[in-house]
Amino acid sequence: MLSDLLARLEEKDRLALARLLTLISRGEQLPEISSAIGTRNETTPVVAITGNAGVGKSTLVGKLAEYLRGEDKSVAILACDPESPLTGGALLGDRIRMPSRPDDAGLFIRSLAAASGHQAVAEHVDLMIRLLAKFGFDVILLETVGAGQGDTAVRELADVVVLLVQPESGDELQWEKAGLLEVADVVVVHKADLAGAEKTEGQVKELLSLPGSREIAVLRVSSRTGQGFEALWEAVMAAPRRGTTLDGRQLLRLAQQLLADRYRSRGAAAGPIIDRWKAHQLDESQAAEQLLDLLVR
Amino acid sequence: MNEQAPLRIVLAKVGLDGHDRGVKVVSRALRDAGFHVIYPGLWQAPEAVVRTVGDEDADWLGISLLSGTHLTLVPRIIDLLKAAGLDHVGVLVGGIIPEADIPKLHEMGVSRVFGPGTPMTDIITYLRSEGSRTHA
């Protein structure tokens, strides 16, 4: 079954690609898929688009994809929306704001549900990115859930992180608080057709020019008027790539995911440990150690 | 590995039909029941719906029609699904469908038709009992 899918993937079969993404999102056959895909093709840029809810991430991703199609670059989009922590359900509505090009083989859009606590992107996104790069897309766009503070996992997944802010979104101290500016490689003042865009651009530039800051491009983009997309793509391409260094963190992340999957599949065996912890016979760290032993065995 | 992976369902409004209250209510009810609902918005072309179903690897497609065009658009979508190799995807229809047309839709390959006033639990129970033919 998997070997059949992988063979079809080689023949650029979109349905095989879609099915493999489903397997990955469910945490199924990850080691087999991972070794079949191999390491990531480093020439394919992976660009993450992040920012708070309502700032226009889906819209910008859609317009950027159209711009790139105009440049004859094929584009794959992974669009994350939140999954309910209570029911596991999700309403994935990012496609509404993205281009509908049913006959265009050069555009692929996949909606993903991101569980809460997963740092604004769905699980196993790194493997999905490798799969899409192997399929041959020229550019991969990753739209985060965009919950804001502390959602910094995208930094390790993407080569370039584009942070969207919008006019009139709080005084200048908000930018300092958010902790997001330090994640960004490019800052976009989106909705630049609205009043106040220049002021916001000025505030962000001022913050970023404080001593000790990295060089970060700040530019105004409007999805409504189409202003700024060429400049945005130039800035993205000019930003130093961050994803190219392999280090232990990638392995750690994979190990964490494997543990989470094992917990889901063998969670019942952990019942006695949990019961003893609840009854205060084990403290939290002892219980966690025992759980780890159980899952690693 | 993951036994309870949520069913993925694409809900679609096709053609010149701006009445999306119903599809939004169903979207929310399915989300709250633990489904992953993909809603690509109003005025979709049949080709765009089929592309979405394929790229999203959906288990189900729910088509909402209140424009009286069900006997034109539904067979078109079902033909396109077959041509795209997506005939394993279950098709539901919701909206204003005259009683007499329901058997015709079934004959075309629609699994169920849910009209106005359908309790949400009917749809949820049906989908849960059918499960997924995509990921059997």
Enumerate the residues of chain A whose CB falls inside 8 A of the CB of residue B47. 102-103
DSSP A135-170: HT-SEEEEE-----TT--THHHH-SEEEEEE-TTSS
Please classify residue B32 by burial: count the beta carbons closer than 10 Å to its beta carbon, then call 0-12 exposed, 13-18 middle and 19+ buried. Answer: middle
- CB of A19 within 8 Å of any CB in chain B? yes
Tell me, rounded to whole angstroms, the distance of Cα B46 from its chain centroid. Answer: 12
Cβ-nearest to A96 among B5, B37, B39:
B39
CA distance A44 to A159: 9
Tell the CATH topology of A41-238: Rossmann fold (3.40.50)
pLDDT computed for residue B2 by the predictor: 42
Closest chain B CA to residue A93? B39
- Closest residue by Cα to residue B73 from B10, B16, B11: B16
**Which of A97, A100, A101, A257 to substitute to test the interface with B, most B CBs within 10 Å?**
A100
Domain B8-130 CATH class label: alpha beta
Enumerate the residues of chain A whose CB falls inside 8 A of the CB of residue B28. 91
- CB of A137 within 8 Å of any CB in chain B? no
Question: Helix, strand, coil shares of chain B as percentages rounded to 5?
Answer: 40, 20, 40
Q: Name the β-bridge partners of A161.
A: A48
Domain spans of chain B, in order of start:
8-130
For A39-87, the pLDDT digits (tens) are 877 789 999 998 888 889 999 999 999 999 999 999 999 998 888 877 8
Angle in degrees, CA B84, B35, A15, rounded to 5: 20
Given a cut of 60, is residue A149 above it in pLDDT? Answer: no
Q: Tokens 């204003």 — which residue? A: B96
Whether A54 contacts A146, CB under 8 Å: no
- CB of A59 within 8 Å of any CB in chain B? no
Contact assignment for A14 to B45 by CB distance below 8 Å: no
CA distance A234 to B65: 44
CA distance B114 to B92: 8
For A225-235, the pLDDT digits (tens) are 999 999 999 99
Size of interface A-B (CB pairs under 8 A): 94
Domain spans of chain A, in order of start:
1-38, 41-238, 248-296
Say which residue, A297 or A71, is predicted with more confidence.
A71
For B74-98, the pLDDT digits (tens) are 999 999 999 999 999 999 999 999 9
**A63-67, A244-248, B49-53: range with lowest mean pLDDT:** A244-248
Whether A115 contacts A30, CB under 8 Å: no
CA distance A136 to A234: 22
Q: Name the β-bridge partners of B9.
A: B37, B60
Contact assignment for B55 to A28 by CB distance below 8 Å: no
Cβ-nearest to A109 among B37, B41, B55:
B55
Each as own residue / partner, the long-range contacts of residues A227-234 (CB below 8 Å, 24 or more positions apart, any chain) are A227/A192, A227/A193, A228/A188, A228/A192, A229/A63, A229/A64, A229/A67, A230/A67, A232/A64, A232/A162, A232/A186, A232/A188, A233/A64, A233/A67, A233/A68, A233/A71
For A260-292, the pLDDT digits (tens) are 778 877 778 888 998 999 999 999 899 999 999
- Closest residue by Cα to residue B136 from A89, A115, A260, A19: A19
> At how many degrees (to 10) do helices A14-25 and A125-135 cross?
170
Enumerate the residues of chain A whose CB falls inside 8 A of the CB of residue B51. 100, 102
Closest chain B CA to residue A101? B48
Question: ipTM more than 0.85?
Answer: yes
Given a cut of 80, is residue A94 above it in pLDDT? Answer: yes
Whether A112 contacts B57, CB under 8 Å: no
Residue A292, both tokens: 């780890």
